[in-house]
Structure 1
Amino acid sequence: MEYGPDDQVQRDAPDAPFQQLAGILRARVKRGDWKPNRAIPGENALADEYGLSRPTVRRSIAVLADEGLVYAVPGRGTYIAEQKPDAPPTQE
């Protein structure tokens, strides 16, 4: 399912809450809510904002880290990775 940057997590949706939050945060990154190499809000802030537990937020952030959208700096937080421009279409 596709999520927008202004969506909220729905408890009765078919996707798990961590998947919904990952989709919402992904959309916020793509929209440019946070600049590359700048920290995103902490786990507690995101948990409060979306009404989720910290482990759920942590799992969502792990999904984004696996995709290369964010990276963690121990003791400092989670930061937005530099986004690579879309590759131009190949000509055959």
Structure 2
Amino acid sequence: MDYSPDAKIVRDAPEPPFEQLAGILRARIGRGDWKPRRPLPSETRLGEEYELSRPTVRRSIAALVADGVLFVVPQRGTYVAGEATEGEHQGD
């Protein structure tokens, strides 16, 4: 299912909240809210923003990692996969 970057979590939807959040995050990445090789907000922050528990946020992130959309750097955070574009450097 396709989600809008501005969608909200619908508690009584047939899709579980973690799938909804994964779709919303994917749409936000597609819109450019987070650039390749740049970090996502923390799990805690995403949980607060979408009113979800941290385990639910983690499950959403894990699904996007499995799809190659995100990658996790231990003790650093979760990052958008993809190459830095011209003019954008890894150390910026």
Normalising by structure 2, we get a TM-score of 0.88
Q: RMSD between aligned alpha carbons?
A: 0.8
Identity of aligned residues (%): 61
Encode CA deviations 1:34-68: one digit per residue, 9 max, x unaligned. 01111000000000000000000000000100110
Residue 5 of structure 2 corresponds to: 5
Aligned length, in residue pairs: 83
Gaps of 5+ in 2: 84-92
Residue 62 of structure 2 corresponds to: 62
Structure 1: how far apart are the matches of 2:72 and 2:45? 16
Residues 31-46 of structure 1 aligned to structure 2 (within 5 Å): 31-46=31-46
Residues 1-92 of structure 1 aligned to structure 2 (within 5 Å): 1-82=1-82
Encode CA deviations 1:4-34: one digit per residue, 9 max, x unaligned. 1000101011100000000000001111110
Normalising by structure 1, we get a TM-score of 0.88
The residue matched to 1:38 in structure 2 has which SS? coil
- What is the Cα deviation at residue 2 of structure 1? 1.6
Gaps of 5+ in 1: 84-92
